[in-house]
Amino acid sequence: MRIGEILDNERTAAVFDRFLPGMRARVAQSAARGMSVRKLAEYAKGAISESSLEAMDAELGNIPYEEESMEQMTEALKSQPLTKAAAEQIPAQRQTAIYPGRVWRDTDGRRIQAHGGALFYEDGLYYWYGENKDRTDGVCGIWTWGIRAYASEDLYNWEDKGLIIEPDLTNPRSNLYPSACVDRPHILKCPKTGKYVCWIKLSGEKSCFVLLQAERFLGPYEVAVENYRPFGKEVGDFDLVKEEESGKAYLFMDADHDGILGMELSDDFLRAEREVSGQYMGLHAPFCREAVALFERNGRKYMLTSGMSGYIPNKSDAAVSGSWRDSFVSIGNPHPRDETNSSYNSQISQVFKVPGKKDLYISIADRWVPGYPVDAKRADMIERSIASHFEPDRYRVSPEEKKALAESPMLASADTSVADYVWLPLEFDGERVSITWKESWRLEDYE
C-alpha cells in the first residue's frame, strides 16, 4: 500500500501512527504519499527499524477491506473527472511533421494518452498504444485508466480508437484496477496461436506481469495469466522482441532491480521458458537499468536502457549483441550531444523500425514531467543524491540537495496526464547508435 492509501483509511492510519509516531505530519501533504512505507524507510536511512516494518506490515495485512469501503473507493474512482489537461479540446490541426517535446493531439484535438507506449504496424495502419493517464493527477490514486490505442496512416495524425484494455472496476485487488501500477504494455502477434498477446508490468509492491490476449489488435483482450513473476523474479521495466526468421520471442526485463535478464518465451508467448542472458548485473540505483527498448539492425541486436530515477530523466545507455541469446555489451550513451545528461529530458519506451524505410528507426520516448526540466547540474545532483543511499561514503550530498531530491516529482504523486512525447530518429556510424535533437522532422526526409 502507498502511504496515501494508508492515511486515507481511519483504521490503517491508526496503525501507521502507532508505529511511526509524528511521521504523518511530515509526509501527509508531501510527495512521500506516493511511496510505500518500505521506500520511505530506505530514504529514512535506519530511522525506521526492520522489526517495526515487519510488525506494521503484519497488522496492516490483518485489516480486511470492508465491502462498504471497497464500494465507496470504487465509486470515487468512477466519478473521478478527466484532468484539466486531458479534458482540454482545441480545433484539430493536420500535422505534417513530428515535433519532439511539444503537446501532441489526436484528430479530435485532445492530448494523446499512450504513455510508456509502443507502435504496432499491420495492414497499412500504425497503432500507437500505451498507458491512459487522462485521470492521473497525482492526488486521486488513479495510476492508469486502462490501455488506449490510436491509429494512423502517416505517423503524424492519430485517431483515438478508445480503450483496448479497460480498467477493472469490479475488484479493488485486480491487476487492472485503476490504482494498480499498470506500466508499459507490449503487444506481439503469436504465429502459433494467431492471437495478439499483451504483457503489462505492475510496478511497486506487486512487481509482476499480467498477460492478456485477443483475436484482433484492437481487442477485446481477456486476461490469460495473472501475478506472473518469471522464475520468481520481481518484475521491472521490460521489452519483448520477436525474431522474424524463427518466430521465437524473447523477454528482456529488469529482474529484482539487479540486472537485465533475457528469456526465451514459450511458443504461445504466455510464459518464459528459459533464461538466455544477463547484463548490467549487480548495479544499484540510479545506475541499474530500466526502460528496456530492443531492436535489430544489419544482424546486430540493440538494447537501449535508462538509469533508475523514477520520472526524473537521466542518461541512457546503448548495448549491442550478435544474438538475442547472448549477453549485451555496452557501447555508451546514445545521446552524446545532449548536454543536459537527461536523454533530452525523456525516457525511451520503444525503438520502432518504420516499414518501407530502409534505415529509419524511431526512438519513442516520454517526457514524464515537462514542468521539471533537468540540466547537467540537476542531473548530477539527482544522481549523487540517489546513489548516496547505497554508498554514502562515496557520494557526498548536502542537506540542501537531500531536500531538493525529496521535493522532486515522485512516481505516484506526479500529474502524468500532462506528459509529452519525444520521438527522434536514430543515426548510425557502423554499429554505434546516436540520437540527435531536432525541433521538428519529417519521415519524407528519409529513404
For 131-173, give the DSSP string. E--TT--SSSS-----EEEEEESSSSS-EEEEEEE----S-TT
State how far the Cα of 410 lies from the Cα of 243, in Å rounded to an integer: 37
Lowest mean pLDDT among 12-21, 68-77, 379-388: 68-77
Nearest C-alpha neighbor of 253 from the set 273, 277, 269: 277
pLDDT of residue 44: 64
Average pLDDT, the chain: 93
Mean pLDDT of 172-190: 94
Residue 306: HSE in the Cβ half-sphere, 13 Å Cα cutoff: 28
pLDDT of residue 45: 61
Q: How confident is the model at residue 385 (pLDDT cuts 50, 70, 90)?
A: very high
Nearest C-alpha neighbor of 290 from the set 265, 267, 266, 258: 258
370: pLDDT strictly greater than 60: yes
Contact 145, 136 (CB under 8 A): yes
Buried-state track 287-325, b at ≥16 Cβ within 10 A, e below 16: bbbbbbbbbbbeeebbbbbbbbbbbbbbbbbbbbbeebe
202: pLDDT strictly greater than 60: yes
pLDDT of residue 296: 97
State how far the Cα of 428 lies from the Cα of 425, in Å rounded to an integer: 10
pLDDT of residue 47: 72
Amino acid at 264: E
pLDDT of residue 57: 84
Lowest mean pLDDT among 97-101, 323-327, 443-447: 443-447
Mean pLDDT of 276-287: 97
The answer regarding whether domain 98-372+412-445 maps to CATH 2.115.10.20 reads yes
pLDDT of residue 346: 98
Lowest mean pLDDT among 31-35, 128-132, 278-282, 400-404: 31-35
Alpha-helical segments (H) within 3-66 = 3-7, 10-19, 23-27, 37-44, 50-61
Three-state DSSP state, 279:
strand
pLDDT of residue 32: 65
392: pLDDT strictly greater than 90: yes
Look at 433 and 54; give whichever has higher pLDDT. Answer: 433
Q: How confident is the model at residue 59 (pLDDT cuts 50, 70, 90)?
A: confident
62: pLDDT strictly greater than 70: yes
Buried-state track 399-417, b at ≥16 Cβ within 10 A, e below 16: eebeeebeebbbbbbbbbb
State how far the Cα of 132 lies from the Cα of 116, in Å rounded to an integer: 9
115: pLDDT strictly greater than 70: yes
State how far the Cα of 204 lies from the Cα of 265, in Å rounded to an integer: 24
Look at 407 and 259; give whichever has higher pLDDT. Answer: 259
Q: How confident is the model at residue 68 (pLDDT cuts 50, 70, 90)?
A: low
Lowest mean pLDDT among 182-196, 208-222, 324-338, 407-421: 407-421
Q: How confident is the model at residue 122 (pLDDT cuts 50, 70, 90)?
A: very high
Contact 420, 313 (CB under 8 A): no
Q: How confident is the model at residue 63 (pLDDT cuts 50, 70, 90)?
A: confident
Q: Which residue has the cell 508499459?
A: 184
Give the CA radius of gyration of the chain: 21
Mean pLDDT of 272-282: 97
Contact 328, 261 (CB under 8 A): no
Mean pLDDT of 155-165: 98
Mean pLDDT of 105-116: 98
Distances (CA, A) of 78 to 139, 141, 344: 15, 12, 36
Mean pLDDT of 41-57: 77
Nearest C-alpha neighbor of 382 from the set 330, 341, 346, 333: 341
- In this prediction the pTM is 0.90
pLDDT of residue 3: 80
Residue length of the chain: 447
pLDDT of residue 205: 80
C-alpha cell at 292: 528496456
Q: What is the DSSP string of 283-347?
A: --TTTS-EEEEEEEETTEEEEEEE-S-TTS---EEEEEESSTTS--EEEE-S-TT-TTSSTTT-E
Nearest C-alpha neighbor of 340 from the set 310, 318, 312: 312
List Cβ neighbours of 216 (8 Å cut-off, separation of 6 or more): 196
Q: How confident is the model at residue 239 (pLDDT cuts 50, 70, 90)?
A: very high
Give the DSSP H or E segment for 376. helix 376-387
Q: pLDDT tens, 302-321?
A: 999 999 999 999 999 999 99
